[in-house]
Amino acid sequence: MSRSYPRHILAIDPGTEAAGWCRLEVPTPGTWSVRGMGAILLPAGQLYRRLAHLQEKLEPIIADAKTLFCECVVERPFVNKNFMATLAIAGARGVVLALMGRANLRFTEYSPQTWKQVIGNGRADKPEVAYKIGRILKLPSTPSFDQADAAAMALYHATRPDDDA
């Protein structure tokens, strides 16, 4: 399957304290530029309030992605040592996927060990990912951990061969 260019990729790293997002434009194979990046900080308190805040803040980002026919990327869930944290992250991921589904956007998911390969180390810690992504994307400053994870997912997706589409 051959891809058409330019491509637009929206990656979201859902969390319970913050959700990172990054939108890359890929004009031609091997070239990219950041077209938007941020972290949605979620308020302390009840999980349902945090998820409602996440939905509210993500809606315009997803609406923008829909107008660009973005390919979407979300981190594949993993089981944390703290099962309650795992369940809360699953709730945030559910909000993300529901918004993508409502916008009729397809998504791909990658495990952290997979998308971290874009920086050369599938077991990299958050500071290493943030530092290397900042350098690879030529960002003016090191992104937050949440932003960096989303940017790394987007970049990993952008560099996948056509037959992985």
User: What is the separation of C-alpha 90 from the centre of its chain, rounded to a whole number of angstroms?
Assistant: 15
User: How is residue 50 written in tokens?
Assistant: 């945090």
Catalytic residue among 56, 59, 71, 75: 75
- Strands, E, within 29-164: which ranges? 33-41, 71-75, 107-110
d(CA 46, CA 135): 37
User: How is residue 4 written in tokens?
Assistant: 């058409």
Catalytic residue among 64, 109, 128, 146: 146
Residue 28, CB-side half-sphere exposure with 13 Å CA sphere: 0
d(CA 40, CA 120): 27
The CA–CA distances, whole Å, from 94 to 85, 110, 112, 120 equal 14, 16, 18, 29
* Catalytic residue status for 146: yes
* Catalytic residue status for 75: yes
Helix (H) or strand (E) holding 24: strand 18-26
* Catalytic residue status for 125: no
Catalytic residue among 13, 25, 71, 149: 13
Residues annotated as catalytic are 13, 75, 146
